[in-house]
Amino acid sequence: MLVVGIILFALGIMLSIVLHEFGHMKVAQWSGMKVRRFFVGFGPTVWSTNRGGIEYGLKAVPLGGFCDIAGMTAYDELSPEDEPRAMWRQAWWKRVAVLLAGPAMNILLAVALFYGVALGWGLVNRDVQPIPTDRVAAVVGDTCAAGQAGEPACGPGLGPAGAAGILPGDRIVAVDGVPVSSWADLSEEVAGLPGETVPVVVDRGGEETTTTATLTSSTVDGQERGALGVRLSDEGIPQEILDDPAYQTVNTYDVWSAVPATIEFTGDMVDATVQGLISFPSKIPAVAASIFGAERAEDSPVSVVGASHIGGQAAEQGAWWLFVLFLAGLNLFLGAFNLVPLTPFDGGHVAVVFYEKIRDALRRLRGLAPGGPADYEKLAPITMTVFVLLIGVSAIVITADFVNPILLTG
């Protein structure tokens, strides 16, 4: 199932690329521009056909795609019949619309997939409230039996709660002298005491007793966290609390209620995506270090290879909601990434259009004629620098995805 999932996710990425380029193509056609070629992939041509004056085709390396619009810059060679339909000759707003259509398609696809997740599985409740209980459902590990002098005799591999004599049904009252009144309080308190031996007060049948537990220590998202080794119980909690949406980790929706929920969820994801873009450069050194054995963070950047592997793992675990959600998030990232105001990204070309508008406005104030299309040759050093950086970063991330891939926990 892993291989099937990887293939399906890779196909999802390819479809996302096709829709991105399709957005550019359709808006260009509606704007009266000449579209010459529409290809999926890069490298040698595997297959192509000509329909309606456009060459459609598939390249050997299906890791991208392109839509060739005649006259994207004034340096493009054009046939006489294509000259009037050159992109650079069109109104500025038409050029901007064409350039934004690609990222817009990725964003719209992301929203549609988020909506599908909301309908099919539900969305995570951002404002979930902790269930008001601190009763222990189970102790992680083997059950302790009473030994000599009443001391607990614990089996090998027993967790700290079991070793301390804590039993299912106990209510934990305090940890290390700090009162806890909810499961959230308990989790927060023990998380901050990794590896420490602390007193734990429990209420057992209305009587309080104090024991001592040595908390375990584990690393989560690069931080050490302690654990007591107990699980939450809903025993004795009124059903109306268990059914209250405020306490549900996942909210489910119908066709209509999923609309505002999707909009709100998309807003949260856009914010997270922007933060991810801002932090992207700072994460590359850690990705490079992971190639040589360093621990790789779960939120580190991934390539098409890594994304497909994560999608494959989600499919293997039967977590199709995660498969779709991850593909949606990837589309949101692709849309936002293409809006970066640097050539060769779509956002860079949009920036050039607005530069021309601002420049011409200033020229009019001075009584001068418009300055004509921007000189893309002057932007060549920036474009080449960005391109080289992309190649380098891609090489690092792809290598890390092979050597030290991100693994989903079951």
Closest to 27 measured CA to CA, from 67, 75, 83? 67
Do 39 and 58 form a contact (C-beta atoms < 8 A)? Answer: yes
Do 256 and 119 form a contact (C-beta atoms < 8 A)? Answer: no
How far apart, in Å, are the Cα atoms of 214 and each of 208, 290, 367? 19, 32, 80
CA–chain centroid gap for 128, Å, is: 21
Active site residue 196: no
Residue whose pair of structure tokens reads 């998309």 in the numeric block: 266
Amino acid at 106: N
Q: Give me the catalytic one of 21, 196, 240, 295.
A: 21
What's the CA gap between 296 and 288, in Å, rounded? Answer: 9
Other residues' Cβ atoms within 10 Å of the Cβ of residue 300: 19
For 258-294, b/e burial (b = at least 16 CB within 10 A) is beebbeebbeebeeebeebeeeeeeebebbbebbeee
What's the CA gap between 304 and 41, in Å, rounded? Answer: 13
Do 91 and 357 form a contact (C-beta atoms < 8 A)? Answer: no
Q: Is 59 helix (H, G, I), strand (E, B) or coil?
A: strand
What's the CA gap between 54 and 149, in Å, rounded? Answer: 88
Q: For residue 383, give the H/E element and its range.
A: helix 376-403
Do 228 and 217 form a contact (C-beta atoms < 8 A)? Answer: no
What's the CA gap between 76 and 72, in Å, rounded? Answer: 7
- Residues with catalytic roles: 21
